[in-house]
Amino acid sequence: EIVLTQSPGTLSLSPGERATLSCRASQSVSSSYLAWYQQKPGQAPRLLIYGASSRATGIPDRFSGSGSGTDFTLTISRLEPEDFAVYYCQQYGGSPPYTFGQGTKLEIK
Amino acid sequence: EVQLVESGGGLVQPGGSLRLSCAASGFTFSTYDMHWVRQVTGKGLEWVSAIDTAGKTYYPDSVKGRFTISRENAKNSLYLQMNSLRAGDTAVYYCAREVFYGDWYFDLWGRGTLVTVSS
């Protein structure tokens, strides 16, 4: 089973700042099978990034994804107030289980 | 409107059973693999089960033998039969649609239904 480890657990930043979130896999993951989700309190997860770097429909271009192999990054170039939420990475390694990282909480400093 | 709507959650005693439903609309349900994902309050996301378009099912070890995922394409519905429930199964349960066309991801989620296992 591939384990995804996200860091940091909590990131405290101010609006306008740049956020860099990390997702590290215990073994190599195809970039095509790495996705990022945003979740706000009381809401379902929302797809942000798929294929490690492609933005989902309607996602602002301040969100970007990068990485390959075992190291992936979600970057938010300039934080807006609505971006403060929990972010999860997820992988598909060719067979179940379909694991999620433990999440990074992005909070207002 | 393209959406997924879960129902069937509630309070159940340890050892009891519950059946969740997920109603799909606005898309051709039969052509998508579907999943259940759960989330304990304040915790992360945990994949619970999957069913492909042919009806083949998949489970993590944590629920294997206790949970059964099924689908009824004629009714655009997904189900999760949960037996031998434990306190640790208390969570919000989401259904999600999988896209696997080159890239792989869950592009559509329901709002979730809360299952509470307690005496």
- Residue pLDDT, tens place only, B2-52: 999 999 999 999 999 999 999 999 999 999 999 999 999 999 999 999 999
* φ, ψ at A31 (rounded to 5°): -60, -30
Q: Is residue A97 very low, low, confident or very high in pLDDT (cuts 50, 70, 90)?
A: confident
For the record, the structure tokens of A36 come out as 């990022």
Cβ-defined contact of A103 to B104 (cutoff 8 Å): no
Question: How deeply is B27 buried, as exposed, middle or buried, from its count of CB atoms within 10 A (0-12, 13-18, 19+)?
Answer: middle
What type of residue sits at position A93?
G
pLDDT number for residue A1: 87
Q: Is residue B85 very low, low, confident or very high in pLDDT (cuts 50, 70, 90)?
A: very high
Q: Is the confidence at residue A94, as pLDDT, over 90?
A: no
Contacts with A46 from chain B: Cβ below 8 Å: 109
Q: Is the confidence at residue A47, as pLDDT, over 90?
A: yes
Closest residue to A96, CB basis, from B46, B50, B112: B50
Exposure string (b/e) for B48-66, b if CB count within 10 Å is 16 or more?
A: bbbbeeeeeebbbeebeee
Contacts with A2 from chain B: Cβ below 8 Å: none
Q: Is the confidence at residue B58, as pLDDT, over 90?
A: yes
